[in-house]
Structure 1
């Protein structure tokens, strides 16, 4: 049907995509979709933003390339960062630099556990318990890929309990490299000698013991002798 003389002009497609990217960024930065959360489905975004499917698809793809969103097959699209630092960090922390990845993990995770012991809320403790239970269930089931993801969810819950938004954003930016380092450590198989008990770390956070929480968080990230 031809557009009537009173209808507003339709912006060019490129402009619509840029505007949609900006709207998605605004909602992420406003905390509507926090780091670690799943964004609405494509049909839901189409309805909420008032644009077509192709526009939404291109905008989401642009934010994936920027390292802000991550598409997980069969699960949905998740917010992994509130900025565009993630791809830069991911390029630096490649599989051939795993020693550096472990050192970065230690820097983040030890301090996060220490702060979490000081700042955790009842809601944080519930999230930690749920994440720990899911991690152990994945281990018992022998599902390596599921275990890697569950382990990351637990560590993200620790970081969230630290209540330091900048720490959470930086930690999210190295998520791909952390996932790679853990998958490499597992070697695709969940064998008994590779199991690390995180219940003591969670107990220390619950007890409000920052030094013990930091010690437990760092115990499994010690560099190999001679490294």
Structure 2
């Protein structure tokens, strides 16, 4: 989304909306550093104080993070995401538990509510995920796996559940990255049974498939917490 010169009324609100739009559209991905203050002042046609007030508002909401001496980074895609990240983003166990709650019910609902368009998308995403898995492309696998799980929840056609899940997408992707790296799970976990159960309209099996691998991951995390000798894992950062 190209930045445009703002009108002279409601400048701060307009700048907030433009910065938020650049994040939401993916122009500024999560984890990236946004343009410098002089660049933004020039692009938006506003004063430094106006820009700083807008950035402070988005930092307070959790979308941006100001790092003194380093710049301003994208922390989350929405205010909801920023708030939820603060609540569940620091412990892998917490994120896995929340994922289990949302994904199991999402899969069960999807088995009832999925449309032909949903089925086509699920199969396409599964195929892409599996291709990256076979090609041993770790980063691409993590993104594709996260997209597949989100597509399952969207197929529930429950707007509240979908927005809750969307709100912690970054934390979910971080959990996929961490658990895949530590156990090489991108070579182990098979989601074909999950997709097939949803396509077949099998509510119970869809829930069981969604719960199965997450229960395994949670069991691993509990074992690690109980025993220092169980094994270390990569640092979990959301």
CA distance in 2 between counterparts of 1:203 and 1:147 reads 20
**Is residue 141 of structure 1 aligned with residue 131 of structure 2?**
no
Q: Is the Cα–Cα contact under 8 Å of residues 110 and 198 in structure 2 kept in the other structure?
A: yes
In 1, the alpha carbon distance for the partners of 2:211 and 2:178 equals 19
Tell whether 2:201 aligns with 1:196: no
Indicate the SS of the match to 1:197. Answer: coil
| 1:42-121 alignment runs, 5 A limit | 53-54=43-44, 66=61, 80-81=77-78, 84-95=79-90, 97-121=91-115
Partner of 1:169: 163
Contact 2:198 2:206 in 1 (8 A): yes
d(CA) in 2 for partners of 1:225, 1:152: 20
In 2: Cα distance, 1:111 partner to 1:224 partner: 20
SS in structure 2 of the partner of residue 108 of structure 1:
helix
Distance 1:203 1:154 in 2: 13
Distance in 2 of aligned mates of 1:103 and 1:19: 38
Give me the TM-score of the superposition, normalised by structure 1. Answer: 0.68
Residue matched to 1:186: 180
- 1:39 and 2:25 matched: yes
* Structure 2: gaps of 5 or more residues: 1-6, 29-41, 65-73, 223-238
CA contact (8 A) 1:16 1:55 kept: no
Query: Residue in 1 aligned with 2:67?
Result: none
- After superposition, give the CA deviation of every residue in 1:101-142 in whole Å (9 maximum; x if it has no partner): 111000000000000000000000011011101101111121
Unpaired segments of 5 or more residues in structure 1?
Answer: 1-9, 29-36, 43-51, 70-76
Residue 22 of structure 1 and its aligned partner are, at CA, apart by 4.6
Q: Which runs of 4+ in 1 moved over 3 A?
A: 20-25, 58-69, 188-192
Give me the whole-angstrom Cα distance separating, in 2, the residues matched to 1:40 and 1:177: 17
In the other structure, the counterpart of 1:217 is 210
How many aligned residue pairs are there?
A: 186
1:11 match: 8
Q: Is 1:116–1:205's contact at 8 Å kept on the other side of the alignment? A: yes
TM-score after normalising by structure 2: 0.65
In the alignment, which residue of structure 1 is the partner of 2:69?
none
Which residue matches 2:39? none
